[in-house]
Amino acid sequence: MFEKILIANRGEIAVRIIRTCKRLGIATTAVYSDADSRSLHRQLADHAEYIGEAPARQSYLDGEKIIAAALASGCRAVHPGYGFLSESARFARALEAAGLAFIGPPAAAIALMGDKIASKELAAKAGVPVIPGHAEALKDLEEALAAAESIGYPVLLKPAAGGGGKGMRIVNRKDQMADALAASRQETEKAFGDSRIFMEKYIEQPRHIEIQIFADGHGEVVSLGERECSIQRRYQKIIEESPSPAVSEELRQRMGKAACDLARKAGYINAGTVEFVVDAGGGFYFLEMNTRLQVEHPVTELVTGLDLVELQLRIAAGEPLPFDQAGVKFRGWAMEARICAEDSERGFMPATGMITRYAEPRGKAIRVDSGVQTGSKIGVYYDSMLAKAISYGKDRETARIGLVEALNGYHIEGVVTNIDFVNSVLSHPKFADGDFSTDFIERYFETDRPSLPVDERNLKLSALAAALIYHVRKMAVRESVRPMVSRIGAGKNRRDSQRYFVRTENEEFEVLLEGSSTGRLWKIHVDKDKFAVETPEFEFYRRRLKLNIDGRIHRFRLRIEGSFFWIAFCGIIRYFEIYSPKEWDLLKHMPRRLELPPADELHCPMPGLVVDVPLKKGDRVFRGQNLVVLESMKMESGVASPVDAVIEDVLVTVGQAVETGDVLVRFKS
């Protein structure tokens, strides 16, 4: 086994690798850029080496600097994590030339499986089902149109190099091909330095299922089961689980065998993931192979009881796998949510800022892999993922409910995150039933068509929590007790009752609180529903409330902003106003607030770099039309017009750096 390794990555995966190394007694060297000088992974490693400025190409993508850091710190091997150089055959060869072990597959396997065209050809030779398509790189628009006619619309344009959804475009009709092909080539050239595009049949409403495999240098190849990865936005996964609710034991064995056959054909060693799409009839087709550890590996670890990073280390050190296929056992269900710095209400735009408050969920069945803490600065240079929350249970519903409750108590302030959006997906009835495909978010969360209504019971519980906090604060002030003691309901014993009216958006609730002699037990009526409530804990600093409602623990995240109570619970985010009966009667006679006219300026929603301004002064634009394209956290995002208008002035140019709040465009009044 290695005595010391360098981790050529950052954030949560670097922290994750360090954790296993500490358990095994392996010393670690971290690398860091200017942006990560105070990062958690640097603090936790035994040693750290500075490798350059914040932009990835000047630090984490500079293989020469990383190799120099490994040699200078006395390391024998390098773990690439995922992203950055993890799938670079050139980097793997350079490590070998420097006398360092690469904790991953051979360079030849990386090159072969990293080429989407070559890997598809190899899969076909290995007897693995492949999606019908045009396997050669498209030469021009004429060839693309001919290929699409042969395959049949809709088709999918995909880059020959890279992954993560970059450069992918769905083409439904002939007249969409020219624009889609040009955009696909431009994006993949920028992301991977390779403009080759190929085409395959687009399978509508598929499942995205992947198989985790491991291969050692002694001829053993095993499958560690499947992961369900169909919940995606922008082709990026945000919820994963193992096993999949759509995979039978028979299908699991067939897919596992196909993945292992492909690995053997490729001469593969170490951890790898073979990705498939599965159609409505249960047919599966090879998509690609990721030649690295996957972001979602924790769900496999929880259902198999294996440490995949430890297996990587041992195989890279020349050891055989300690089990064969018959030795792989599966237990229970695991579900993971990716916590990202992004604004789900603005088309998943990346968000930046400094984390001012941070509290992770806890519990025996909860695991959090995080790369941040209070004080961490989230900038524009790297991926938006901050952490992963993983729940384990005896069955799918237990794991799902556990993850919902974990996210209810995951408290991050200072930067916008997707916590509540992910929780709304987890709480959606269709997801709970296991009835979904890769277009789930687009179908239920990104269209003008209304989704299923908000869960009325969960909304009432949020209103209950707001009214209870309001009441306790009011009683504490009246009794000259500190407004926020550690146990809400502490203070003088009371048996009184109090009626409140709670309003949020278009909903109104009547809440009746009946206290007990202990000050912690309540009978609470919300309209016609009655709840037995115990108030075991309120953490003011972390702004989390834990209530035992009808014998089940529920957690709420909350903020008090003036007269408003902000509550986040099970994906529902609302501002609540609380009124006494007298105030409610008076409110009925108050005029309704008028909507303000739209602004005559388009403001920048996030820091970034302007990469496209497809308009000029005098152009007529329409609401929802992208006026400026920004690049931030390795993603391009369009900034849409809020109104139908005529452009008065364009205030930015391509290549310009912009900050949140900057004026990008002015409209004519």
**Which residues are marked as active site?**
288
- Own/partner pairs for 469-473, CB < 8 Å, 24+ apart? 469/538, 469/545, 469/558, 469/560, 469/565, 470/500, 470/565, 470/578, 471/498, 471/500, 471/513, 472/535, 473/560
Instruction: Measure the CA–CA gap between 63 and 54, rounded to whole angstroms.
Output: 15
Name the region of 152 (left: φ>0; alpha: ψ -120 to 50; beta: rest).
left
Specify whether the CB–CB gap between 232 and 247 falls below 8 A.
Answer: no
Count of residues in the chain: 669
Specify whether the CB–CB gap between 36 and 20 falls below 8 A.
Answer: no
Instruction: Measure the CA–CA gap between 298 and 192, rounded to whole angstroms.
Output: 28
Instruction: Measure the CA–CA gap between 315 and 266, rounded to whole angstroms.
Output: 17
Instruction: Measure the CA–CA gap between 557 and 35, rounded to whole angstroms.
Output: 30
Specify whether the CB–CB gap between 419 and 261 falls below 8 A.
Answer: no
Specify whether the CB–CB gap between 547 and 567 falls below 8 A.
Answer: no
* Cis peptide leading into residue 154 (ω within 30°): yes
Query: Hey, what are 67's tokens?
Result: 């190799």
Query: Hey, what are 105's tokens?
Result: 């597959």
User: Which residues share a beta bridge with 204?
Assistant: none
Positive or negative, the Cα torsion across 296, 302, 308, 309? positive
Q: What are phi and psi of 20, to 5 degrees?
A: -65, -40
Half-sphere exposure of 20 (CA within 13 A, CB side): 22
The neighbour count for residue 562, using CB atoms within 10 Å, is 6
Instruction: Measure the CA–CA gap between 459 and 469, rounded to whole angstroms.
Output: 16
